[in-house]
Structure 1
Amino acid sequence: MKNFNIQTVVIAALVAFGLGSFAWGVSRPVAPAQATRVGSLNLAKVLDKLQEKSDWEAQLGALQNQMRDEADSRKKKLEAEVKQAASATDGAEQQRIAEQVVLEQLQLEQWATLKGGELDLENSLMWQSIYRHLREESAKLAESEDYDYIIVNDGTNEIMTSREAKVPLSQQVLEQIGRRHIIFASPSTDISDKLIVRMNNTHATAPASVGPAKK
């Protein structure tokens, strides 16, 4: 009888402990899941207002003008030699000048191809630099303001078509729709202005050597 009473007490205690643990688990508050924070960018707006892009374009424009001036100088020289060949009375001299003109014309074409490649390289370096800084400053902004994602809101771009293209208008529209990643982003998520300020401030303190290589 005594053993029966002891067993009864033990069982009751275990049941009470189990129910108490269950009640504690049920009543314990569960921390709500943290909401994902997303920031969106109007990329066209950001690029349009970047001082780095403006500085690059100014230097690239100067480089392009320099190349154009040199090309014009070479062309004028060729035109003068063509006139000289036309006015030459000696056949041998005329032939010599004509051959020289052909050679210089070939050299001009090779020079233009080389300079075009250099300009294309500088343009690619510009966009690489801008994209690198865009990523860096986006990461810093996300860290400082607890954003989990910063996305490009391409839903702001209008669908554009051109009859000059060799692709049917309907296909142009469908291709652009297929490339869209964002259909709508609330204006409250837009952080374009914040990123512009950060990137321009960082660029203002960057080394003055940033930009196209001097030729």
Structure 2
Amino acid sequence: MKLAADLVAFSKRLGHDFARPELLLRAVTHSSLSSPTRPDNQRLEFLGDRVLGLVMAEALLKADRAASEGQLAPRFNALVRREACADVAREIGLGDVLKLGRSEMMSGGRRKEALLADAMEAVIAAVYRDAGFEIARDVVLRLWGARIDQVKPDARDAKTALQEWAQARGLQPPLYVEIAREGPDHAPVFTIAARLETGEEARATAGAKRQAEQAAASALLKTLGN
């Protein structure tokens, strides 16, 4: 099988030359374009999530030999969560080569965080199946790069930190309320309010609902800290 020019270029950005190029084609094929003769990337995504997890767990244990499981867990979550995978996908232009159905393409699928993250995991699995764990580990460590060394000692995401703050004070978990949604369907912009039952509130706007929630939680934590 011969890859199209865009996938050949992507393979170079990825840093892996596929002996079985059909694996890469499958990894970038979204379910909106799948058919009996063209399988999608969902099974590869499932596998890639586990490969990524093992690589990150090994890397964190090596980076901090004295850290406890409780200290390592939030760092691990920060490195494997959807946002991190999507960021790496953007850096290597994965969205440009995704194979999408018309409806997904029209709705801005190439920029969707969840879709990019899932495809990134599928690509990791494709490398693993093509060349084995050691090569897949090398690719992941190179792509994640400084993220591993720079992950915060306390890497809890803002929503988790805010929920723990509330629980420690006997409060109900924070609420996240969609205040507004603007822009076209393929590029919406969300305004989210993070609220506590005591009345404190902070708002944030972002191009993805999860990002807006995290930003609102971060803003509220800063307010509470002050």
Same fold (TM over 0.5): no
The structure with more strand, counted as a fraction of residues: 2
Q: TM-score, normalised by structure 2?
A: 0.26
Q: TM-score, normalised by structure 1?
A: 0.27
Bigger relative CO (Cα 8 Å, ≥ 6 apart): 1
The structure that has the greater radius of gyration is 1
